[in-house]
Structure 1
Amino acid sequence: MTRLFHTFLLVSAVIAGNSAPAPAAIAEPVPPGLPAVPAADPFYAQPASFDGSRMGEIVASRVVDVRDIPARAPLTSWQVKYVSQDSGGTPWTTVATIIRPAGGARTSELVAFDPWIDALDARCNPSYQLRAGAAYLASTGMITEMTSLVALLDHGYTVVVPDYLGPENQFTASYVEGRNTLDGIRAALNFAPAGLSQVTPVGMFGFSGGARGTEFAAELAPDYAPELNLVGSVAIGLPVDLSNSGRRMNKSIFTGIDVISAFALDRAYPDLNTSAMFKDPGLGSKVGGMCNVEAEAAFAFADGADMTFGRLWPLDDPKVAAVVQTLRAGRLGTPRAPLYLAVGVNDQVALPDDNDRLAADYRDRGVDLTYVKLPVVEHVTSIVVAAAPAMDWLAERLDRAGT
Structure 2
Amino acid sequence: MGQVVDSRPITVSTVPTSAQLTSWQVKYVSQDTKGRPWTTMATIIKPAAAWSGPPKLLAFLPWIDVLDTACNPSYQLRTDYAYLASTGMIGEMVNLGAALDRGWTVVVPDYLGPENQFAAGYVEGRSTLDGIRAALNFAPAALPADTRTAIFGYSGGSRGAEFAAELAPGYAPELNLVGTAAGGLVADMGASAALMNGGLFAGINYQASFGLARAYPELNLPSYFLDPHFERELATMCQAQVLATYPFTYVQDRTVDRVWPLGDPNVVAVLDTLKAGRYGTPNSPVYLWMAGEDQIAITPNTRALVSDYCTRGVPVTYVEYPGTEHVSAETAGSGAALDWIADRLNGIPASTTCH
The question of a shared fold, defined as TM-score above 0.5 by the shorter chain, is answered with: yes
CA distance in 2, matches of 1:184, 1:170: 16
Residue among 13, 16, 19 paired with 1:73: 19
CA root-mean-square deviation = 1.1
Partner Cα separation in structure 2 for residue 200 and residue 99 of structure 1: 15
Give the letter aligned to residue 313 of structure 2: G
1:194 Cα deviation from its structure 2 partner: 0.6
Match of 1:113 among 57, 60, 73: 60
Match of 1:57 in 2: 3
Q: Does 1:91 align with 2:72?
A: no
Q: Please tell me whether residue 329 in structure 1 is matched to residue 276 in structure 2.
A: yes
In the other structure, the counterpart of 2:150 is: 203
- TM-fit CA distance, 1:304: 1.4
Tell me how far apart the structure 1 counterparts of residues 81 and 160 of structure 2 sit (CA, whole Å): 24
Q: Deviations over 1:308-348 (max 9, x none)?
A: 11211111111101100100000000011000001111011
Deviations 1:54-93 (A, max 9, x none): x000000100011221211111100110000101111100
1:14 aligned partner:
none
Secondary structure in 1 matching 2:119? coil
Residue 231 (structure 1) aligned with residue 178 (structure 2): yes
Q: Does the alignment pair 1:303 with 2:256?
A: no
Query: What's the counterpart of residue 44 of structure 1?
Result: none
Which amino acid letter does the alignment assign opposite residue 84 of structure 1?
Answer: S
Q: Give the counterpart of 2:94 among 129, 147, 160.
A: 147
Gaps of 5+ in 2: 350-355
**Mapping of 1:211-230 within 5 angstroms?**
211-230=158-177
Counterpart of 2:316 (choices 348, 364, 369) is: 369
Correspondence for 1:380: 327
Take 1:352 and 1:82, find their aligned partners in 2: how far apart are those partners? 35
Structure 1 letter corresponding to 2:284:
A
Of 210, 231, 240 in structure 2, the residue corresponding to residue 293 of structure 1 is 240
Write the distance in 1 (CA, Å) between the matches of 2:129 and 2:29: 11
Matched to 1:375, the amino acid is P
331, 343, 347: which one aligns with 2:290: 343
Q: Is the 8 A contact 1:94 1:166 kept in 2?
A: yes
The 5 Å alignment of 1:262-273 reads: 262-273=209-220
Give CA deviations for 1:235-272 in whole Å, capped at 9, x if unaligned: 00000000110011111121110010001111000000
CA distance in 1 between partners of 2:110 and 2:30 (Å) = 11
The AA in structure 2 aligned to 1:394 is I
1:260 counterpart = 2:207: yes
Maintained 8 Å contact 2:14/2:93? no
Query: Which TM-score applies when normalising by structure 2?
Result: 0.96
2:154–2:183 CA contact under 8 A, matched in 1: yes
1:175 paired to 2:114: no
Write out per-residue CA displacement over residues 166-205 of structure 1, whole angstroms, 9 at most, x where no aligned residue.
0000011111000000000000001111110111000000
- Contact kept, 8 Å, 1:87 with 1:173, in 2: the verdict is yes
Query: Equivalent residue for 2:353?
Result: none
Residues 120-170 of structure 1 show CA distances to partners (whole Å, capped at 9, x for unaligned) of 010000000000121111111211101110110011100000000000000
Counterparts of 1:121 and 1:383, CA distance in 2 = 24
TM value normalised by structure 1: 0.85
CA drift of 1:401 comes to 6.8
Is the Cα contact below 8 Å between 1:231 and 1:401 reproduced in 2?
A: no
Distance 1:68 1:345 in 2: 31
Contact 2:152 2:180 in 1 (8 A): yes
| Compared CA separation, residues 126 and 139, structure 1 to 2 (3 A) | same
